[in-house]
Amino acid sequence: MRLREIPLTAWIGILGILFAFFCAVFASLIAPFGEREIVAGVWEPANELYLLGTDNLGRDLLSRLIYGAQTTLFVSLAASILSFSIGIFLSFTAAVSGGPIDQGLSRLNDLMMSIPTLIFALVVLAVLPQNIFILIAVMAILDSTRVYRLGRAVALDIAVMEFVEAAKLRGEGRMWIIFREILPNALSPLLAEFGLRFAFSILFLSTLSFLGLGIQPPAADWGGMVKDNKDGIIFGIQAALIPGGAIAALAVCVNMVVDWLLKRTSSLKGGRGDA
Amino acid sequence: MANPLAGVYAARHRLKESHPLTVLIVERLGLSLLLLWAVSVLIFAGIEALPGDFAQTYLGQSATPQSIANIRADLGLDRPITTRYFEWLGGVVQGDFGNSWASGAPVTEQITKRLGNSLFLAFFAAAISVPLAVGLGMVAVHYRNRIPDRVINILSLAAISLPEFFIGYLLIVFFAVQLGVATFPSTVYDGMPWSERMAAIALPTATLVMVVLAHMMRMTRAAIISVMSSAYMETAELKGLGAFKAIVKHAAPNAIAPIVNVVALNLAYLVVGVVVVEVVFVYPGMGQYMVDAVTVRDMPVVQACGLIFAAVYILLNMVADLVAIIANPRLRHPR
Amino acid sequence: MPDLLSVRDLRIGATIFPPGEDPQDIDIVHGISFDLQKGKVLGLIGESGAGKSTIGLAALAYGRGGVRITGGEVLLDGEDILSMNKKGIRSIRGARVCYVAQSAAASFNPAHKLGDQVIESSIEHGLMTREEARKRADYLFDILGLPDPHNFGDRYPHQVSGGQLQRAMTAMALCSNPELIVFDEPTTALDVTTQIDVLAAIKNAIEKTGTAALYITHDLAVVAQISDDIMVLRNGDTVEYGPVQQIIENPRQDYTKALVNVRQTKLAEARDQSDALLKVENISAAYGNGVQVLHDVSLHVPRGQTLAVVGESGSGKSTLARVITGLLPPFEGKVTFVDEELSAEQKKRSRDHLRRIQLIYQMADTAMNPRQTVGQIIGRPLQFYFGMRGAARKAKVIELLDEIEMGETFYDRYPAELSGGQKQRVAIARALAAKPELILCDEPTSALDPLVAEGILDLLMRLQKERQVSYLFITHDIAIVRAIADSVAVMLQGKLVDFGPRSEVLNPPFDDYTDLLLKSVPEMKLGWLENVLATRKMESAGH
């Protein structure tokens, strides 16, 4: 795959994501002020010291934004990796095993998918203690249902191909079939799906934080920052739009990369078995 | 090798041959009811299975062994779970969702008022976004890979990347604060004149429409492309039929099922969107009710809202499935 | 007589999108010319990629997908339809020139009744009223041999069989009294016993209505029954063009000669067939939903010889292969391999048993992992069964590549880079790598062009002679059976109808089905179809 094949939109997306990760990793080095440091008055407009102004408690918005990148990205990434792993493992096992295992897992998945994710999360978070690991676990388990559905469809699509049956007839073990026959052919759609999950996690986390159920203050998190500053909107203070914009920008970047991956997937499928 | 259920399978097979439509509809209805019941178990009992002592979390800092015991007795948490579940279920079936732990008032009262408001909002958003999504999808297909299609693609990509609350606040900043044409917050009350009510929900509806439209439009485009590239559309062209006639007579009947499917998939976004939009616009609906209850851990309210949202979602999915089944000519006219 | 259709120097191009590269513009038809008179039939014959469908569609001024007509003229009654505007072209399609597609099942709209679709273009073009069109449709259903012709139009596509749909599509084309019909491989997807009925019906209808036709197919024997002239195409060029008598009985070009002589070779039948390598005894099997697919089937494969299992769709021949490999355990009967009973379930069989019975699939595309190189595909059985690795394994793979007549250069290639025939050869090499004693061949040549298939069959026969490997060869093609089988098993709807040495099964006396099957296979002889139909008339008159 040559570099110049990647369309402009995908390049912008990749650069945006890299930039966000850069901020997240080197937050403490780049941010001009501390995460919880109160530096000036409430909702001061942007000036040379505070490039984006201050928030509802007088903290520097730019610094909080950079630290927020750290929280948002790491929690979202952890949740997507976990959800993806759970979903792929369960769905591939179901697809290859067939029979009662497949039926059982799929019915369970259908049940969990019959409640919209946010509602389910609200109900569950109402009960559980507030803790970042529990948050990640809840996000991961709920989102894994979508990964399961896609993973199972992809695995079944491939599993009915004769080369999988040929491997079975040879006497190959189940692990070989999953990892050496099915998985290599599933990479493209799965990679695109991971991107979608990541974008969803970012949006989902910020929504939960916005509703007060995600990351708890005073830790900086983009969704939480919108919540903190929302009361200023009606008075013309646009501070809440800045973290909101950051969320949107990052999600747009991820979606642009995913769009490109999805286009590659369908062309690969077409180029595969045709004469 | 005799399968004890073989008789049942055989009978179902015969029935399915002669009246496939009826069998499928009945099965779908039954499945939905079963699902709803399973969801109720999940919402009620699943909560109990989660780690963490509920009473302790509820009291938080002020938890002492005595106060925990008191709370449990007060809230009836010391009785066995099965008893509590069936009591709750019995009440639910009769429309009684118990009393709120926060206010002590019956939950059903609040629900009846707020459910109406939420459905009102969701209904208008759906009524606007579904035709718009189908229309824009058709435009995108007509100009496939040309400028209008690409523009629509980029705009929808941006739209699905924006969190709902962000869209809401953007609209508020633009229309309410800067232009001053819309009302915020969107309070509605009983006996409100119709025009005022419509003005109040203008912004929340617009937000919801934007949230759902983007997702739906991409999918309707894909569904229409798939129907348009079917072999029978080529047959129509080779018979010399004009493009418009071919679309109306041949594409449309086969597009109903996939488009209905797309709408159903996006209902999830609508249900979720309502929750966030109500919080942003301070609209007195089920969404705001549930979020407030979750924050103070008012379990009866949380469970009731959760069950109702799930029920609405399951019901809408079932209707979509049924429409797809009925639209299938193989089932309407068996061999 | 003035020409109805005159094609002059037709050139057609297309844009292809090879994966990972820029789109390319290529020429697929390079200047074709022919003439067709009113009421005559021209057969366009060639292998896949010859351009025959593309040329057929050009007669309707249509290009499928990214295909464009880049030059030449198509004169219909003297008027060049390629230079007409959209309205003009629309007025021709469905009225003066009609098209019968290869897959009638996909070409009909599942949401409308057949009758409505058949009369649609006649009404849309204002050629007749609904009443008149209905009447004509019923008449056409009748002469095409459809059951209950008066009510046939009220049925939906999914309610009728494939053969009936193909005939309905022909009725749809004939309904508007066109001057020309383009038949695009109309019987390719049908069973041979259905094919002969549809072929006869089409011929009858063409003769009765005096319509001219372009008949596109890759089967020379079929086209010989129905055409007045034949044009042989290859890679977008004309190889030979002349009256059907000359092409069939006196072909001039080598390529045409090869097509005419395909599968004429007959191997001598092996004598002793008693040494059974594989024995299938009283096998009855059913699918999970209770439908029984095999009823008390018994046969055996002699060592070092070929058993051909022949039947049409639904005969159970592929299911038999699944039972033998253990993928579908039977509920009665057993399978014995070299006097050892094989476990009914594949999972329970020993690796050695799995090694000694190999399977080759019909579609080589999906039978190999697209992410593995040819070297890896052939090398895996060597590693898995014999523990071979590194240089020794690579050497053995190259040896096998030589045996399948492909060679070392293919070691690092991927399946997507190979042609259909090459892919099937790699599949054969993969099977050989396990040093099997029996190879189950599930219609390995059905998806290949006739000449390529010939090459594969020759390879298989040579390998059998060298290695004494037995074949259980599943096919629906009697010509293949005649060419390669030592013993034959005929199956119909899950039952074994006849089994024995080839000379016995393929010679009289016959049971009814084998008789029908043998008679339905088109022969490369003019007038074969008329003979068969005449024989049938005599037989039914005699009852």
SS (H, E, C) chain A: CCHHHCCHHHHHHHHHHHHHHHHHHCHHHHCCCCCCCECCCCCCCCCCCCCCCECCCCEEHHHHHHHHHHHHHHHHHHHHHHHHHHHHHHHHHHHHHCHHHHHHHHHHHHHHHCCCHHHHHHHHHHHCCCCHHHHHHHHHHHHHHHHHHHHHHHHHHHHCCHHHHHHHHHCCCHHHHHHHHHHHHHHHHHHHHHHHHHHHHHHHHHHHHHCCCCCCCCCCCHHHHHHHHHHHHHHCCCCCHHHHHHHHHHHHHHHHHHHHHHHHHHHHHHHHHCC
Task: Give yes or no for a contact between C490 and C316, defined as CB atoms under 8 angstroms apart.
Answer: no
Quote the percentage of chain B above a pLDDT of 70: 89
Strand, helix or coil at C424? helix
Smallest CA–CA distance from C362 into chain A, residue: A162
Contact C107 B231 (CB under 8 A): yes
| Contact residues on chain A for B203, CB-CB shorter than 8 A | none
Contact A184 C327 (CB under 8 A): no
Task: Give yes or no for a contact between A136 and A157, defined as CB atoms under 8 angstroms apart.
Answer: no
- For C110, the closest of B9, B241, B329 (CB atoms) is B329
Structure confidence at residue B1 (pLDDT): 47
The C-alpha angle C387, C390, C392, rounded to 5 degrees, equals 75
Q: Tens digit of pLDDT for each residue in C5-26?
A: 889 999 998 887 766 567 788 8
Q: C171: Cβ–Cβ under 8 A, 6 or more apart, which residues?
A: C118, C137, C140, C141, C144, C146
- Nearest Cα to Cα of residue C356 among C486, C485, C465, C468: C468
Range of the domain at B130: 107-332
Asked if residue B115 belongs to a domain, the reply is: yes
Mean pLDDT of chain A: 84
Strand, helix or coil at B145? coil
Top-confidence range, A137-141, A220-224, B185-189, B255-259? A137-141
- B residues 15..54 contacting A (CB < 8 A): 35, 38-39, 42-43, 47, 50-52, 54
Give the mean model confidence (pLDDT) for residues A33-45: 80
Integer angstrom CA distances of residue B158 from B149, C65, C113, C319, C412: 14, 31, 44, 52, 43
Give the mean model confidence (pLDDT) for residues B314-322: 84
- For A171, the closest of C48, C351, C368 (CB atoms) is C351
Contact B335 C112 (CB under 8 A): no
- The edge-to-edge listing of strands for the beta sheet with C292-302 is C292-302, C276-286, C332-337, C340-341
Smallest CA–CA distance from C49 into chain A, residue: A275
Structure confidence at residue A265 (pLDDT): 63
Name the residue with higher pLDDT: C377 or B176. Answer: C377
Give the mean model confidence (pLDDT) for residues A55-59: 82
- B residues 276..335 contacting A (CB < 8 A): 276, 279-280, 290-291, 293-295, 297, 299, 302-303, 305-306, 309-310, 313-314, 317
Cis peptide before C509 (omega within 30 of 0): yes
Cis peptide before B258 (omega within 30 of 0): no
Q: Tens digit of pLDDT for each residue in A164-203?
A: 999 989 988 888 888 888 888 888 888 888 998 999 999 9
Structure confidence at residue C205 (pLDDT): 85
Measure B129 CA to nearest chain A CA, in Å. Answer: 20
Number of CB atoms found within 10 A of residue C79's CB: 12
Categorize the per-residue pLDDT at B317 as very low, low, confident or very high, splitting at 50, 70 and 90.
confident
Contact C107 B9 (CB under 8 A): no
Asked if residue B76 belongs to a domain, the reply is: no
Terminal CA-CA length for chain A: 21
C-alpha A110/C-alpha C236 separation (Å) is: 53
The token pair that represents C465 in the structure block: 């002679």
The C-alpha angle B111, B112, B113, rounded to 5 degrees, equals 90
Strand, helix or coil at B327? coil
Q: What is the pTM of this model?
A: 0.80
Structure confidence at residue A275 (pLDDT): 20
Contact B232 C93 (CB under 8 A): no
Contact B250 C90 (CB under 8 A): no
Q: Tens digit of pLDDT for each residue in B31-44?
A: 888 888 888 888 87
Measure A237 CA to nearest chain C CA, in Å. Answer: 50
Structure confidence at residue C381 (pLDDT): 93
Asked if residue B97 belongs to a domain, the reply is: no
Structure confidence at residue C1 (pLDDT): 56
Measure C119 CA to nearest chain B CA, in Å. Answer: 11
Measure B10 CA to nearest chain C CA, in Å. Answer: 8
Q: Tens digit of pLDDT for each residue in B62-105?
A: 667 777 777 667 666 667 777 777 877 888 888 788 877 777 78
Provide the Cα torsion B169, B172, B173, B174; round to 10°.
Answer: 120
Confirm or reject contact between C13 and chain A (CB < 8 A): no
| Contact residues on chain A for C434, CB-CB shorter than 8 A | 170
Categorize the per-residue pLDDT at A207 as very low, low, confident or very high, splitting at 50, 70 and 90.
very high
Q: C466: Cβ–Cβ under 8 A, 6 or more apart, which residues?
A: none
Q: C465: Cβ–Cβ under 8 A, 6 or more apart, which residues?
A: none
Confirm or reject contact between B230 and chain C (CB < 8 A): yes
Structure confidence at residue B60 (pLDDT): 65
Structure confidence at residue A273 (pLDDT): 24
Structure confidence at residue C42 (pLDDT): 94
Chain A: which residues have CB within 8 Å of chain C? 1-2, 5, 161-163, 165-166, 168-172, 181, 184-185, 267-268, 270-275
Measure C184 CA to nearest chain A CA, in Å. Answer: 20
C-alpha B328/C-alpha B48 separation (Å) is: 43
| Contact residues on chain C for B253, CB-CB shorter than 8 A | 109, 111-112
DSSP string, C199-225: HHHHHHHHHHHT-EEEEEES-HHHHHH
Asked if residue B36 belongs to a domain, the reply is: no
Confirm or reject contact between B148 and chain C (CB < 8 A): no
- For C159, the closest of B1, B239, B335 (CB atoms) is B335
The domain total for chain B is 1
Asked if residue B118 belongs to a domain, the reply is: yes
Task: Give yes or no for a contact between A240 and A188, defined as CB atoms under 8 angstroms apart.
Answer: no
Contact A169 C325 (CB under 8 A): yes
Smallest CA–CA distance from B314 into chain A, residue: A114
DSSP string, C452-490: HHHHHHHHHHHHHHHH--EEEEEES-HHHHHHH-SEEEE
Task: Give yes or no for a contact between C463 and C432, defined as CB atoms under 8 angstroms apart.
Answer: yes
| Contact residues on chain C for B226, CB-CB shorter than 8 A | none
Give the mean model confidence (pLDDT) for residues B194-212: 85
- For A126, the closest of B39, B176, B299 (CB atoms) is B299
The C-alpha angle B167, B171, B175, rounded to 5 degrees, equals 175
Number of CB atoms found within 10 A of residue C508's CB: 8
| Contact residues on chain A for C420, CB-CB shorter than 8 A | 275
Measure B335 CA to nearest chain C CA, in Å. Answer: 5
C-alpha C116/C-alpha C103 separation (Å) is: 19
Confirm or reject contact between C370 and chain A (CB < 8 A): yes
Asked if residue B173 belongs to a domain, the reply is: yes
Contact C92 B240 (CB under 8 A): yes
Buried-exposed string C407-426: b where 16+ CB fall within 10 A, e elsewhere: eeebbeebbbebebbbbbbb
* Residue count of chain C: 543
Q: Tens digit of pLDDT for each residue in B293-313?
A: 888 878 888 888 988 998 888
CATH number at residue B121: 1.10.3720.10
Measure B7 CA to nearest chain A CA, in Å. Answer: 20
Identify the structural domains of chain A with CATH numbers, from first to last.
Answer: 7-266 (1.10.3720.10)
Contact C111 B253 (CB under 8 A): yes
Contact B161 A254 (CB under 8 A): yes
Give the mean model confidence (pLDDT) for residues A202-212: 91
Asked if residue B1 belongs to a domain, the reply is: no
Confirm or reject contact between C235 and chain A (CB < 8 A): no
Residues of chain C with pLDDT under 50: 543
Contact C159 B333 (CB under 8 A): yes
Asked if residue B72 belongs to a domain, the reply is: no
